[in-house]
């Protein structure tokens, strides 16, 4: 298996789960925009952007010898005016992505504990290690309180909740 795909696949799947978590949470809270647009899918093609999902990450993987990649997916469409409590509900929707990544990181870590130690060189174990690291990074990175990251809207809830 090509080392670049061993990194790319679990990272892309983690990013897709992150976005889908936003969409399902928004739908639960009253905004069905993502559902109406057909974006509530784990199909990675529905979430990819050519430059951010293919060109940049794969180029960086090649240039760094498989040690570094950076990319993005299409953001999940959310219309906060459809929520009963727009500021609070938007914060919940934004927290859902990092929460999903945290759960995935924990699942990868638990599966690594279960996988037989003799398979330490297997591709599956490598995917689990990469999946765990990628999900921890995605959760932490997206919680940085700068626009357009999720942390910005979570911070806005605390800034405006008493108004």
Render pLDDT for 51-91 as a digit per residue (tens, 0 to 9): 888 888 888 878 888 777 778 888 899 999 999 999 999 99
- CA distances from residue 119 to 65, 104, 108, 129, 151 in whole angstroms, order as listed: 24, 21, 15, 13, 38
- Tell me, what DSSP letter sits at residue 104? H
Structure token pair of residue 74 = 């299409």
- Tell me, what DSSP letter sits at residue 77? P
Task: For residues 118-128, give the mean pLDDT.
Answer: 75
Domain boundaries, the chain: 3-75+84-160
Cβ–Cβ < 8 Å for 3, 126: no
pLDDT at 15: 92
CA–CA distance, 86 with 156 (Å, rounded to integer): 11
CA–CA distance, 138 with 96 (Å, rounded to integer): 12
The listed range with the strongest mean pLDDT (16-30, 71-85, 105-119, 126-140) is 16-30
pLDDT band at 1 (very low <50, low <70, confident <90, very high): very low
* Catalytic sites, residue numbers: 19
How many CB atoms lie under 10 A from the CB of residue 133? Answer: 17
pLDDT band at 116 (very low <50, low <70, confident <90, very high): low
Of the candidates 118, 97, 111, 8, the residue with the CA atom closest to the CA atom of residue 57: 8
pLDDT at 119: 62
CA–CA distance, 28 with 22 (Å, rounded to integer): 10
């Amino acid at each position: 298996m090509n080392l670049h795909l061993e990194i790319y696949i679990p990272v892309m799947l983690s990013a897709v789960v992150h976005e889908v978590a936003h969409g399902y949470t928004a739908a639960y809270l009253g905004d069905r925009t993502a559902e109406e647009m057909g974006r509530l899918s784990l199909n990675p093609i529905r979430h990819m952007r050519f430059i951010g999902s293919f060109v940049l990450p794969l180029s960086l993987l090649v240039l760094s010898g498989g040690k570094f990649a950076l990319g993005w997916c299409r953001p999940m469409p959310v219309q906060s005016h459809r929520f009963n409590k727009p500021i609070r509900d938007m914060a919940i929707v934004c927290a859902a992505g990092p929460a999903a990544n945290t759960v995935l990181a924990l699942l990868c870590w638990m599966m690594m504990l279960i996988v037989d130690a003799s398979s330490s060189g297997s591709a599956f174990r490598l995917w689990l290690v990469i999946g765990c690291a990628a999900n921890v990074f995605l959760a932490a990175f997206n919680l940085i309180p700068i626009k357009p990251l999720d942390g910005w809207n979570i911070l806005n809830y605390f800034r405006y909740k008493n108004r």
